[in-house]
Structure 1
Amino acid sequence: MKKSHWMILSLVSVALLLSGCTEFDQPISSESEGFWNEFIVWPLVSVIKYFADLLGTYALGIIAVTIIIRLVILPLTIKQVKSSKKMQEIQPKMKELQRKYASKDAVTQQKYQQEMMALMQNSGVNPAAGCLPMLIQMPILIGFYHAISRMNATPAFDLGTFLIFPLADPSIVLAILAGLIQFVVLMSGPAMDNPQMKVLMYIMPVMIMIFGAVLPAALSLYWVVGNIISVIQNLVIYKPWNRKKIEPATTGGAKK
């Protein structure tokens, strides 16, 4: 699991870096050709512009689109939470398997992997469930970056500001805010119940701050709004305040 998290984080980093290598500073229009332009960038630009015209500013348009995107992936987020809860429930059995197959020889480790996969399947745990929302958001995030950058390069668009922050320029304030709220998201969600995910509590917020400090503020605004929605989702779905009530009882039972 830890290796998979590092792999995902690496993919996000590489994807964001590669996203700026082609056409990021070129104007965008309905006549722009190519799969990426026709099916990702221009549709995002069109939707943002539609809500910007409807609500009065591009900042509000971006916020509206962010809310819509998060509502669309909400079913996957719910699956992520359920999978994380099941993962928490089978942690004692997983540790028991680790002790049973502590030897590092190939045969023992193969048996360990087989029994671990059987345990997860029988318990209805899908290790990939926690990654799906992130993987789905990757092309959207890259598309947002392209859309904002190329709208900024198109004379017909004027992104304006959000409060005092120009949306086309980087904003350290919004970047830090996005990272801090991301930390709250992880604190209130599955990372607290899965020791293997706790590394994300420290890496993801820092990564968001770093990217937000060099990318357009519109992208940081997307992160801020999206993370606020995630906090609300965790409070409603995951109910983190129940943790303190459950943990003592679970610990007491384990001692017996």
Structure 2
Amino acid sequence: MFTYKKIALPMILLTIVLLVSGCGGSAEPITADTTGIWNHYFIFPLSWVLTSVANIFDGNYGLSIVLVTIMIRLALFPLTLKQTRSSKAMMALKPDMDAIKQKYSGKSKEEQQKMQLELVEVYKKHGINPVAGCLPLFIQMPILLAFYYAIMRTEEIAAHTFLWFDLGQTDPLFLLPIIAATTTYFQAKLSMKQGTEQFKLLIYIMPGMILVAALAMPSALALYWVVGNLFMIVQTYFLFIRNSEPIDVKA
């Protein structure tokens, strides 16, 4: 049954992304003299890393985007691992959670309060914080958004080519947008297998958003999305699919 509750949390997350992205909405080139905390301490350092890596490879900014994207994802891996452990712990407790919810299946306010108290007691017993899996996401988000704007606002990138496309122009063959949307779908599909029904709606929303954006934005950004998605697909496979044993919770 389609209800507001099923889409509330996904919509809140998308709204947060849009609000946070507004902090760096300027398309002006980023330099060391650009003012503002968000610009000076988040976007410019990543722009500097992009330029430095490109200079190592004879000004190859496409390769720089690939390598720096992988470097950032590797740096964020401990947070992802923490989020994964929390998700697996919650999965291990799902039968207990379902039993409690079935026990208090009534709609009365009193029954709902009793259910919440009993759920909290189960979390405490096993030493699990139900929101712990979300915290790494909110730490990663500003870093990934800053890197997005670093790519968009590093002026030198637009003047270079990589493979068959100009980094500052849309892909003339439309391959990158299609690949970006496709990899977004598979990455979301793998991730949402471990999530709730509320999040599964995003499997279909996110690829569409990425496709529309990639068709209109410079290829440098589509390249970033493709590399990031491929990394996350491999990471999700090894963390969840291949290593499918749930993490033991405290007795």
Common topology (TM > 0.5): yes
Deviation at 1:118, TM superposition (A): 2.7
Aligned position for 1:7: 12
Aligned partner letter, 1:62: I
What is the identity, as a one-letter code, of the residue corresponding to 2:162? F
* 2:180 alignment counterpart: 178
Q: Please, what is the CA RMSD of the aligned residues?
A: 2.7
* Aligned-partner Cα distance in 2 for 1:216–1:106: 52
The residue number in structure 2 matching 1:202 is: 204
After superposition, the Cα gap between the structure-2 partners of 1:27 and 1:10, relative to the gap in structure 1 and judged at 3 Å, is closer
Distance 1:28 1:241 in 2: 42
- What whole-Å deviation, never above 9, does each CA across 1:167-202 have from its counterpart, x for those lacking one? 22344532331222122223334x213343323322
Q: Distance in 2 between matches of 1:194 and 1:142?
A: 23
- SS for the counterpart of 1:10 is helix
Instruction: State the partner residue of 1:91.
Output: 94
Matches within 5 A, 1:126-205: 126-152=129-155, 158-171=158-171, 172-189=174-191, 191-196=192-197, 197-205=199-207
Amino acid at match of 1:91: K
State the Cα distance separating 1:38 from its structure 2 match.
Answer: 1.2
Distance in 2 separating the partners of 1:123 and 1:176: 44
**Structure 1, 111-120 or 63-72: larger mean CA deviation:** 111-120
**Offset at 1:39?**
0.5
Conserved in 2, the CA contact under 8 Å of 1:19 and 1:142? Answer: no
Q: Offset of 1:20 from its aligned partner?
A: 6.1
The match for 1:249 is none
Amino acid at match of 2:9: S
Partners of 2:222 and 2:238 in 1: CA distance = 24
CA distance in 1, matches of 2:238, 2:70: 16
Task: Give, in whole Å, the separation in 2 of the partners of 1:27 and 1:193.
Answer: 40
CA distance in 1, matches of 2:101, 2:61: 52
Q: Give the corresponding residue for 2:69.
A: 66
Secondary structure at the aligned position of 1:30 is classed as coil
Pairs aligned (count):
237
Whether contact under 8 Å (2:158, 2:167) holds in the other structure is no
TM (norm. structure 1) is 0.80
> Which piece of structure 1 moves more, 122-131 or 220-229?
122-131
Which region of structure 1 is more displaced relative to structure 2, 134-143 or 220-229?
Answer: 134-143
Name the stretch that deviates more: 64-73 or 141-150.
141-150
Question: Does the CA-based 8 Å contact 1:87-1:194 persist in structure 2?
Answer: no
| Structure number with higher relative contact order (C-alpha < 8 Å, ≥ 6 residues apart) | 2
Once residues 122 and 173 of structure 1 are traced to their aligned partners in structure 2, the CA distance between those partners, rounded to angstroms, is: 51
Question: In 2, are the aligned partners of 1:148 and 1:168 still within 8 Å (CA)?
Answer: no
Of 96-105 and 197-206, deviating more is 197-206
SS at match of 1:128: coil
Structure 1 residues 135 and 159: CA distance shift in structure 2, 3 A: farther
Deviation at 1:66, TM superposition (A): 0.7
Give the C-alpha shift of residue 150 in structure 1.
2.5
Looking at structure 1, the residues matched to 64 and 190 of structure 2 have their Cα atoms a distance apart, in angstroms, of 28
When normalised by structure 2's length, the TM-score is: 0.81
Relative distance call for 1:186 and 1:127 in structure 2 (3 A) is: farther
Distance in 2, matches of 1:114 and 1:146, equals: 43
In the alignment, is residue 38 of structure 1 matched against residue 43 of structure 2? Answer: no
The one-letter amino acid of 2:154's match is M
Are 2:229 and 1:227 aligned?
yes
Unaligned runs of 5+ in 1: 247-256
Percent of aligned pairs with the same amino acid: 37
Deviation at 1:230? 1.3
